[in-house]
Structure 1
Amino acid sequence: MILGIGVDLLHLPRLASLVARRGSGGLAKRILSKNEHEMFTRKFPTSECRDQVVQEQQLIWCIKEAIYKALFPVQKLEWKQVTVTKLKVEVDNAKAYGIKGVHVSLSHDGDYVIAQILLEG
């Protein structure tokens, strides 16, 4: 059974502008789960890697937005309740939300990234 479908389209200059204003560390603290933040600080120990940071966070941002939209308005997840790694996407307390599986499709072209999420219930 399909529990929800979510799509997010991200204009990359918007995220780059946000990182420039808040700094990569500020954005990371705001949107990353505990495990993601630990991986982030190991991978980017200094702010000198700003371009790489934006590339790393753009996919995470897009996936998390799409998952939020897949559950909204029935459930309202917070940024830190979703953990994105290279191999999988995890939602804290997924069973409580009725989530049995998360399927992700990503695409990018030029200044845009799109994520589509299908939540299996």
Structure 2
Amino acid sequence: MIVGIGVDVVDVPRFERQLARTPALRERLFTEEERDLPLRSLAARFAAKEAIAKALGAPPGMMWHHCSIPRPAHGDGRPEVRLTDSVRDRADELGVTHWHLSLSHDGDVAVAYVVAERQD
């Protein structure tokens, strides 16, 4: 059963300007393992975090570090969602047991689409 869906689009040049203007933003938005990824990958991950927040109903008090999109550990290249603390608590509250995430970036645009699912 689908619990929620979310989608977000990021303008990569605008995102790059924001990161340059506010250097601490990179640390505020991304976990240590995410921070050194290429710009377009960071933009796609930020879009994923926004999409996940939307799928969960934008829980108050959500911390960006409580949601990460690590490099795929498995050979098929599918991105995974890793949740901790406040974001994991909200997902548990809603009964989310599985995430479907798609990331893409092309030219000046990065996009993420997510489906939060509960197994009934």
Q: TM-score, normalised by structure 2?
A: 0.75
Q: What is residue 47 of structure 1 aligned with on the other side?
A: none
Q: What is residue 90 of structure 1 aligned with on the other side?
A: 82
- 1:27-46 aligned at under 5 Å gives the runs 27-32=25-30, 36-37=31-32, 39-40=33-34, 44=36
In structure 2, C-alpha distance between the alignment counterparts of 1:53 and 1:21, rounded to whole Å: 17
Q: What is residue 49 of structure 1 aligned with on the other side?
A: none
Displacement of 1:82 in angstroms is 0.5
Please identify, of 101-110 and 111-120, the stretch whose mean Cα deviation from structure 2 is larger: 101-110
Provide Cα deviations, 1:63-119, integer angstroms capped at 9, x if missing partner.
10110111115x343312102111221122342342101111122221111100000
Given the superposition, is the C-alpha separation of residues 110 and 40 from structure 1 closer, same or farther in structure 2, using an over 3 Å criterion? closer
Contact 1:19 1:54 in 2 (8 A): no
In structure 1, C-alpha distance between the alignment counterparts of 2:34 and 2:52, rounded to whole Å: 21
Q: What is residue 118 of structure 1 aligned with on the other side?
A: 115
Code of the aligned partner of 1:112? V
Code of the aligned partner of 1:58? A
Q: Are 1:15 and 2:15 matched, yes or no? A: yes
RMSD in angstroms over aligned alpha carbons?
1.9
In structure 2, C-alpha distance between the alignment counterparts of 1:4 and 1:78, rounded to whole Å: 19
Please give the secondary structure, in 2, of the residue aligned with 1:20: helix
More helix by share: 1
How many residue pairs get matched?
A: 105
Displacement of 1:40 in angstroms is 4.7
In structure 1, C-alpha distance between the alignment counterparts of 2:68 and 2:34, rounded to whole Å: 12
What fraction of aligned residue pairs are identical, expressed as a percent?
Answer: 32
Contact 1:83 1:90 in 2 (8 A): yes
Provide Cα deviations, 1:9-52, integer angstroms capped at 9, x if missing partner.
111111011011012xx1222112xxx31x256xx4xxxxxxx6
Q: What is residue 44 of structure 2 aligned with on the other side?
A: 59
Please give the secondary structure, in 1, of the residue aligned with 2:99: strand
Following superposition, which runs of at least 4 residues in structure 1 exceed 4 angstroms of deviation? none
Code of the aligned partner of 2:39? V
